[in-house]
Structure 1
């Protein structure tokens, strides 16, 4: 008699059948979920790229000109200078008679004193500055107030605001309290008001005239020759008397020296650098967009971009290119060495740019324009205006697309949950059926063995 065998596992069989039952829908759902996730990441990346490019346009054009000015001294040992966009070309003569310095004083012979309380006033330029509570200065609470505790209290005093720094210097066993003014100029000269100091010995030590380590003084610079030009006195060594120019003097001149010459002129290298940044930042954004709409190349194993079939993003790509190629005429991008290649990216010919600047320096600003709100113009204004249709936080395309994609992802999660439940239901149904079948087969196999034992051939 034939033997009935059990050649399958109910759990494995149920898993396979349940998988087959949902596999087609699962494949579709998995692909849609992957696409939605890729779209979310790409939209976030695009938003960041567009925002970065708009910030770059604003930075480049907010100074009202792409042209850069340079300011240099004939003797760089005397100082340095920088020119802003509003600086006017020209030559200026200066004589540096003295530099501004910060006051530093030393109170010598200080010793530990009895912690008798009171307060110590610190004056700047002869006017009250701030005071410290000597009782609070005794930080360890013992009967002795040390010079180091006084210095620490001066530095920690909230109303000091860093205007005076205090330190302790010991020379040949003698303790000195060093006070240094943060600000240069005579207005920062330090003096002490000891009227409210209770300890007599400490009061005497701090009332003595200090050693002037460095005298605080204002800078004196002559516009023109020393003594015959116009004197300029101020507390700082940084001067802004020439419109659009910042000068920092670092060395005083000796009597009889010739004045140093400040030259303000166009800085072609600086202008080239700004235009190169305009080119590089545009190409950076375009590279991001190009990768997203790339068609892919199966022969080379290159996958298509996440928005390869998205007409909206392709319009964004095309509009950016057309805005640049649409600027023609004598003062065109090409005239200034900014060339659009076949794929729409930009390259810069610095030699051609410099040559055209010599012919028409103002034309570059008219061409590039500005992206500043209320004063947008030129290529920068057109690009920024169009990109705002994408980047607007109220009704921009990126905001709308992200919201739609988020809704889609939420829907896909729900669909996945439903499919998981269908899978679980199918698995349980198949497991029950094949477990029952396995039980039935086991009983049949047992009965077959019994019949074989009763009626089988016993001749052997």
Structure 2
């Protein structure tokens, strides 16, 4: 009777045994590598969150005050206004006599020039402003200079820099060259010096005597108070900043005898609340990122712990931010409606905020302070100073932790190579052993078959 030996694949068996040989060490290695990778990602996320918060603190430093002011026109058809915190509440009357306008002139009957050469000088308020090189005006390469090419040459003149815009308007089949100043006021008046133009027909068409004024450049005339009896203000633009902290843009002139427009400057509670809410929101964003990283998790609910749940340093960061808020006095923040919820995040009571601002309008700015690099102050200054210990690209905590994590990952890479070598050595050893064993079994099966053939049956 033949002996049946178990069949197997030496390679598969060797691989399974080699994996089992390094399994415990590979498990530790994989766990450490996954944790190192997770730490790198978390540290970069933390860096981004801190940088974003610091950016919001510096943006706050460029704002004169969290207390916003508004400026409104009694007749919005006449213009609009904005106010900064530097504006003093009150009402101001203005009469809009004239609006500033930009000079616009036209030249009719300008035809294409057979010889594009010479130069054209564009003057503003009678003084040379820039020169147009007509020698290079031919852009299509067919010779001469079309009216369109001349307009393009004016717009592209190196010293124009947007001072004058040239365009072509065709009326009844006749092309007109229209020049428009990009600034307003009497100083914007446009004229041409054609003495350098070599083409006689073009020179004649652009002669100053042929100029038609479409719009005269004029200065704005505004009266503080009534027309004729108030204080007269003249300037080249329609944007006025004569009241500290207030910018007014007038868009329509008034008729003689009309009632002056009133500009009212007053506290803007909506904008002020938005400013304070932004401070609260930006802090809560950073807090949420840190809280998630140090969260201990809840095995009962299947909630995994945060990446830094066992990291004392990040927990110190978490508690330090809270203590900085309290250093300035929790009662002071609470007085302005900024309090802590049960989870530690900040919440804002706008009613309480505006009530306290009415009683102490400067107190909140002093309390929150500035994250200035020159003279930091208040909560914002202390926050930024502490966070720099983490975010500094020179010796910050995050930089040092990332470098240490990089070194650990290099070491883990070396260990992985060693484990791979151990696996390969074990695999080759097991493969050799089981290949030999398979050979012996095959030989035994062959011998068994031969014996069975010789003695397995009786012969007649």
Q: TM-score range by the shorter chain?
A: over 0.9
In the TM superposition, residue 290 of structure 1 has moved relative to its aligned partner by 0.5
CA distance in structure 2 between the partners assigned to 1:187 and 1:429 by the alignment: 95
In the TM superposition, residue 251 of structure 1 has moved relative to its aligned partner by 1.0
Superposed CA deviations along residues 389-409 of structure 1, whole A, max 9, x for unmatched, are: 211222211111111111111
Find the counterpart in structure 2 of residue 280 from structure 1: 281
CA distance in structure 2 between the partners assigned to 1:36 and 1:241 by the alignment: 61
SS at match of 2:7: coil
Find the counterpart in structure 2 of residue 324 from structure 1: 325
1:50 and 1:387 in contact (8 A); partners too: yes
Find the counterpart in structure 2 of residue 93 from structure 1: 93
Find the counterpart in structure 2 of residue 395 from structure 1: 395
Structure 1 residues 231-270: aligned runs within 5 Å: 231-270=232-271
Superposed CA deviations along residues 150-180 of structure 1, whole A, max 9, x for unmatched, are: 1111122222112211111111111111111
CA distance in structure 1 between the partners assigned to 2:297 and 2:58 by the alignment: 34
In the TM superposition, residue 347 of structure 1 has moved relative to its aligned partner by 0.7
TM-score, normalisation: structure 1 = 0.95
In the TM superposition, residue 339 of structure 1 has moved relative to its aligned partner by 0.9
Find the counterpart in structure 1 of residue 7 from structure 2: 7
In the TM superposition, residue 427 of structure 1 has moved relative to its aligned partner by 1.7
1:117 and 1:199 in contact (8 A); partners too: yes
Superposed CA deviations along residues 319-369 of structure 1, whole A, max 9, x for unmatched, are: 11222234437x611111111123211111111111111222222122212
Find the counterpart in structure 2 of residue 430 from structure 1: 430
Find the counterpart in structure 2 of residue 199 from structure 1: 199
Find the counterpart in structure 2 of residue 56 from structure 1: 56
SS at match of 2:97: strand
Find the counterpart in structure 2 of residue 228 from structure 1: 229
1:151 and 1:168 in contact (8 A); partners too: yes
Go from structure 1 to structure 2 and tell me whether the alpha carbon gap of 1:81 and 1:171 turns closer, same or farther (over 3 Å shift): same
In the TM superposition, residue 298 of structure 1 has moved relative to its aligned partner by 1.6
Given the alignment of the two structures, is residue 381 of structure 1 paired with residue 381 of structure 2, yes or no?
A: yes
1:62 and 1:371 in contact (8 A); partners too: no
SS at match of 1:160: coil
In the TM superposition, residue 5 of structure 1 has moved relative to its aligned partner by 2.6
In the TM superposition, residue 64 of structure 1 has moved relative to its aligned partner by 4.2
Structure 1 residues 2-401: aligned runs within 5 Å: 2-207=2-207, 208-328=209-329, 332-401=332-401
User: Which structure 2 segments of 5+ residues have no match?
Assistant: none
CA distance in structure 1 between the partners assigned to 2:64 and 2:100 by the alignment: 34
CA distance in structure 2 between the partners assigned to 1:423 and 1:446 by the alignment: 34
1:115 and 1:138 in contact (8 A); partners too: no
CA distance in structure 2 between the partners assigned to 1:433 and 1:164 by the alignment: 92
In the TM superposition, residue 6 of structure 1 has moved relative to its aligned partner by 4.6
In the TM superposition, residue 265 of structure 1 has moved relative to its aligned partner by 2.1
In the TM superposition, residue 10 of structure 1 has moved relative to its aligned partner by 1.1
SS at match of 2:210: coil
CA distance in structure 2 between the partners assigned to 1:127 and 1:428 by the alignment: 93
Superposed CA deviations along residues 33-67 of structure 1, whole A, max 9, x for unmatched, are: 11111111111111111111111122223334321
Go from structure 1 to structure 2 and tell me whether the alpha carbon gap of 1:69 and 1:367 turns closer, same or farther (over 3 Å shift): same
Greater shift after overlay, 450-459 or 224-233? Answer: 450-459
In the TM superposition, residue 4 of structure 1 has moved relative to its aligned partner by 4.2
Superposed CA deviations along residues 6-47 of structure 1, whole A, max 9, x for unmatched, are: 511011111101111111111111111111111111111111
Go from structure 1 to structure 2 and tell me whether the alpha carbon gap of 1:137 and 1:62 turns closer, same or farther (over 3 Å shift): closer
Go from structure 1 to structure 2 and tell me whether the alpha carbon gap of 1:392 and 1:143 turns closer, same or farther (over 3 Å shift): closer
CA distance in structure 2 between the partners assigned to 1:180 and 1:416 by the alignment: 73
Go from structure 1 to structure 2 and tell me whether the alpha carbon gap of 1:148 and 1:426 turns closer, same or farther (over 3 Å shift): same
In the TM superposition, residue 438 of structure 1 has moved relative to its aligned partner by 1.6
1:29 and 1:416 in contact (8 A); partners too: yes
1:64 and 1:370 in contact (8 A); partners too: no
2:116 and 2:137 in contact (8 A); partners too: no
SS at match of 2:159: helix
Over the residues paired in the alignment, what is the CA RMSD in angstroms?
1.7
In the TM superposition, residue 241 of structure 1 has moved relative to its aligned partner by 1.2
CA distance in structure 1 between the partners assigned to 2:31 and 2:89 by the alignment: 64
2:118 and 2:133 in contact (8 A); partners too: yes
SS at match of 1:96: strand
In the TM superposition, residue 133 of structure 1 has moved relative to its aligned partner by 1.8
Greater shift after overlay, 85-94 or 231-240? Answer: 85-94
CA distance in structure 1 between the partners assigned to 2:57 and 2:116 by the alignment: 64
CA distance in structure 1 between the partners assigned to 2:236 and 2:423 by the alignment: 82
